Amino acid sequence: MVNRNRGRVLVGMSGGVDSSVAAWLLLQEGYEVVGVTLNLWSYEGRQEPYNECCSLEVRVVAEQLGIEHHFVDAGEGFYRQVVRPFVQEYTAGRTPSPCGRCNRWVRFPKLLELAEEWGCDAVATGHHARIRWDEEEGRYRLLRGADPWKDQSYFLYGLNQDQLARLRFPVGEHTKEEIWEIARAQGLVAARKRESQDLCFLPHGDPRSFLRDRAEGERGLTPGEIVDWKGRVLGRHEGLAFYTVGQRRGLGIAAGERLYVIALDVVHNRVIVGPEEALYCAGLIAEDVHFIDPKLGEAVSRHGAPPVSIEVKVRYRSRAVPALLRGRPAEATSRLQVAVEFTQEPQRAVTPGQLAVFYQGEEVLGGGTIVRALPRIPEAAQGPQSEEEGEENGADERLSPLSALSGDEEGFHPLGAPDGVVELVTASAHQIDP
């Protein structure tokens, strides 16, 4: 039975199992629940969502739960903040992360706006994450979901304190299997809907035809050369937008070894390939950085502040690895930039355009968009080997990406190139010397 004293909660519903069970859990706790489905994208331009993620069966779920439900069009903002930047980033040689951008700039702002209009006290979604109030520090903490395999906190790094105060993530306290069991036990139609792994605006997860339709004439779709890091031409590419750092398959070149995309050269319209070892880097630069705790953001951006020990994830499915985080002056923007140094081991295929999300244990600290990778310094460039010679010549200073930030980073051999065969700007700068 609904206890209106518990409050009225707006639940963002897709028709999938997580948001459906989130609504059911809130009903069990006595909340009055209102469902809403944002029409962010429809392949046929319909008012209701018609795409890879949202299902019209959400209506049936709402009827099963006995709750009020609405469809709300949010397509204009979604196109402006997510789809158009998605196309622009790909054609500029970067690999964007649209889900994180949607959550930060479209989904949650719109849901909270609707909640205020409709007299709801809070907003809930089916994300696998948790929120805790820290009484001692007087702030909210965003934590990983209880199920490490389904944790979605990576995509929620852009939430702020005001938003966390009004958000609820009911399924974040459960494992995915528990969610499926609840849906089956309650006979929810969402229990028979397969999980979508595709972006809502990409039919069948195919970015190539999508980009060709929306970026015709852009330079990123112009064919060009595939070269190795010595500049030797190995083949032709179809357009930089169709390649990403770390890619091995689909290159269409024959070589005596396995070659991977290690950089995209936008200036000369070239795909640069190399051995797998060239994919590993010592750190990264990220911009458009957001910290969930404003005090941490202020501390990191303060000139001369010491680095902060964190763990960082450089893509959704990667593990969080130990690192040092330090603020730095922005290169060509007023937005906050940070440098991240991996402290235990180099990381593979750090890709411009993807998200770097910062953690301390279970807590999400914030994150930003990767601008470029920081190269490893090859052994030959590490200077004298004895302790005395090292101190005299400053070898320790040259071993750390963070310590190099005040100097000319492009002087390093990128990505640990063996034998120093070429000096090129790292993958995120998209160019090499001709």
Q: Do 408 and 417 form a contact (C-beta atoms < 8 A)?
A: no
Domain closes at, from 180, 204, 228? 204
Same structural domain for residues 112 and 27? yes
Q: Do 262 and 274 form a contact (C-beta atoms < 8 A)?
A: yes
Q: Do 160 and 139 form a contact (C-beta atoms < 8 A)?
A: no
Query: Domain span at residue 133?
Result: 4-204
Same structural domain for residues 170 and 299? no
Same structural domain for residues 181 and 326? no
Q: What is the pLDDT of residue 237?
A: 96
Active site residue 200: yes
Is the residue at 413 inside a domain? yes
Domain closes at, from 151, 174, 204? 204
* DSSP assignments along 69-132, one per residue: EEEEE-HHHHIIIIIHHHHHHHHTT----HHHHHIIIIIHHHHHHHHHHTT-SEEE---SEEEE
290: number of Cβ within 10 Å: 18
Same structural domain for residues 176 and 311? no
Please pick, among 99, 102, 120, 281, the residue that the annotation labels catalytic.
102
Q: What is the pLDDT of residue 54?
A: 55
Q: What is the pLDDT of residue 181?
A: 97
Same structural domain for residues 183 and 303? no
Cα 86 from Cα 65, distance rounded (Å): 36
Same structural domain for residues 295 and 400? yes
CATH code assigned at 358: 2.40.30.10
Report the run of H or E that residue 172 belongs to, with start and end. none
Please pick, among 54, 99, 200, 281, the residue that the annotation labels catalytic.
200
Cα 351 from Cα 314, distance rounded (Å): 8
Same structural domain for residues 403 and 299? yes
Is the residue at 241 inside a domain? no
Distances (CA, A) of 122 to 15, 52, 221, 420: 20, 27, 44, 57
Q: Do 157 and 355 form a contact (C-beta atoms < 8 A)?
A: yes
* DSSP assignments along 201-258, one per residue: TSGGG-HHHHHHHH-TT-GGGS-EEEEETT--EEEEES-GGG--TT--TT-----SS-
Cα 158 from Cα 393, distance rounded (Å): 42
Is the residue at 234 inside a domain? no
**The two structure tokens encoding residue 220:** 């990123």
Is the residue at 388 inside a domain? yes
Q: Do 205 and 52 form a contact (C-beta atoms < 8 A)?
A: yes
Is the residue at 286 inside a domain? yes
Is the residue at 170 inside a domain? yes
Same structural domain for residues 34 and 157? yes
Same structural domain for residues 147 and 10? yes
Active site residue 120: no
Number of domains present in the structure of the chain: 2
DSSP β-bridge partners for residue 313? 357
SS3 (DSSP) at 394 = coil
Q: What is the pLDDT of residue 365?
A: 98
**In Å, how far from its chain's centre is CA 108?**
16
Q: What is the pLDDT of residue 396?
A: 33
SS3 (DSSP) at 39 = strand
What is the Rg, in whole angstroms, of the alpha carbon atoms belonging to the chain? 24
Is the model's pTM score more than 0.85? no
Domain closes at, from 204, 222, 241? 204
Is the residue at 230 inside a domain? no
Is the residue at 433 inside a domain? no
pLDDT tens, the chain, 434 aa long? 455 568 999 999 998 999 999 999 999 999 999 999 998 886 445 445 554 455 678 999 999 999 999 999 999 999 999 999 999 999 998 999 999 999 999 999 999 999 999 999 999 999 999 999 999 999 999 999 999 999 999 999 999 999 999 999 999 999 999 999 999 999 999 888 667 666 777 766 678 888 888 887 777 899 999 999 889 999 999 999 999 999 999 999 988 889 999 999 999 999 999 999 999 999 999 999 999 999 999 999 888 899 999 999 999 999 999 999 999 866 555 567 999 999 999 999 999 999 999 999 999 999 999 999 998 754 433 333 344 433 333 333 323 334 333 333 322 223 333 332 232 333 333 333 33
CATH code assigned at 72: 3.40.50.620
Distances (CA, A) of 299 to 108, 312, 313, 356: 27, 18, 21, 19
Cα 43 from Cα 278, distance rounded (Å): 40
**The two structure tokens encoding residue 245:** 């750092």
Distances (CA, A) of 353 to 71, 94, 108, 185: 32, 5, 21, 41
In which residue are the tokens 């990983």 written? 144
